[in-house]
């Protein structure tokens, strides 16, 4: 005897394969619950598990990982360039310049401090991107490190390496 099952729960949102970044979701049609042979449903689940096709969540995770790794590579390059500039400038500071007056010396010191500050800010962003990648691997990606609440998807879409929600980030910056 074939058993008919209500598959309304199975007809949830699905990821569209041709959507950009695999992130778009289609709503199920509202034609009513479909009647399906439950043995075929179980068999289909087993067959799709054997095939090893990535799920929507796996595709989304892969896209996030790729974006984070690309950003991390950009930040590391930027940091190396800043450090190289600082090192070059420091070599110039070792050579005394008889023409420098107090204002020139002050300007050079200010510029050097500004470049060091920029390099430190880039290093912090590198560490933040690395933490986001670690959390992605551990399963904690998308949750605020400050309050433990979910980080809004819109924030993650704009800033994938975000490790704090907007509220916690604002509080952190005020300190």
How big is the CA angle at 121 (ends 116 and 126), to the nearest 5 degrees? 120
Read off the pLDDT of each residue in 112-122 and give the average, rounded to a whole number: 93
- Rounded to an integer, what distance in angstroms lies between the CA atom of residue 156 and that of residue 136? 12
Model confidence over 41-96: pLDDT tens digits?
Answer: 444 444 444 455 567 677 888 889 999 999 999 999 999 999 998 887 776 665 65
Read off the pLDDT of each residue in 114-126 and give the average, rounded to a whole number: 94
Query: Which distant-in-sequence residues (6+ apart) come within 8 Å of 10 by Cβ?
Result: 36, 41
Helix axes 102-138, 56-94, angle to 10 degrees: 160
Residue with tokens 């300190």: 175
Domain boundary among 89, 105, 128: 128
Residues 122, 172: one domain? no
Residues 122, 156: one domain? no
Question: Is 80 within a domain?
Answer: yes
Entry field: residues in the chain: 175
Residues 123, 148: one domain? no
Residues 123, 173: one domain? no
Range of the domain at 158: 142-175
pLDDT at 169: 92
Residues 108, 152: one domain? no
Counted domains in the chain: 2
Residues 123, 164: one domain? no
Query: Percent of the chain beyond pLDDT 90?
Result: 38
Residues 79, 113: one domain? yes
Confidence of residue 147 (pLDDT cuts 50, 70, 90): very high
Whole-prediction pTM: 0.59
Question: Is 49 within a domain?
Answer: no
Q: Which among 136, 118, 134, 124 is positioned nearest to 169, based on CA atoms? A: 124
Distance, first Cα to last Cα, the chain = 69
Question: Is 22 within a domain?
Answer: no
Checking if the pLDDT of 37 tops 50, the result is no
- Rounded to an integer, what distance in angstroms lies between the CA atom of residue 9 and that of residue 140? 26
Average pLDDT, the chain: 73
Question: Is 153 within a domain?
Answer: yes
Confidence of residue 151 (pLDDT cuts 50, 70, 90): very high
pLDDT at 26: 34
Q: What does residue 54 show for φ and ψ, rounded to 5 degrees? A: -65, 145
């Amino acid at each position: 005897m074939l058993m008919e099952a209500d598959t309304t729960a199975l007809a949830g949102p699905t990821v569209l394969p041709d959507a950009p970044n695999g992130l778009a979701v289609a709503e199920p049609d509202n034609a009513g619950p479909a009647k399906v042979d439950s043995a075929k449903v179980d068999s289909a689940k087993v067959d799709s598990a054997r095939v090893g096709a990535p799920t929507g969540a796996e595709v989304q995770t892969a896209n996030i990982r790729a974006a984070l790794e690309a950003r991390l590579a950009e930040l590391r390059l930027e940091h190396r360039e800043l450090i190289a500039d600082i090192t070059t400038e420091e070599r110039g500071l070792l050579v005394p310049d008889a023409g420098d007056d107090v204002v020139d010396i002050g300007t050079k010191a200010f510029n050097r401090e500004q470049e060091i500050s920029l390099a430190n800010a880039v290093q912090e962003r590198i560490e933040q991107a690395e933490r986001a990648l670690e959390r992605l691997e551990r399963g904690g990606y998308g949750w605020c490190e400050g309050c433990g609440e979910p980080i809004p998807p819109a924030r993650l879409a704009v800033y994938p390496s975000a490790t704090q929600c907007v509220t916690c980030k604002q509080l952190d910056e005020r300190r």
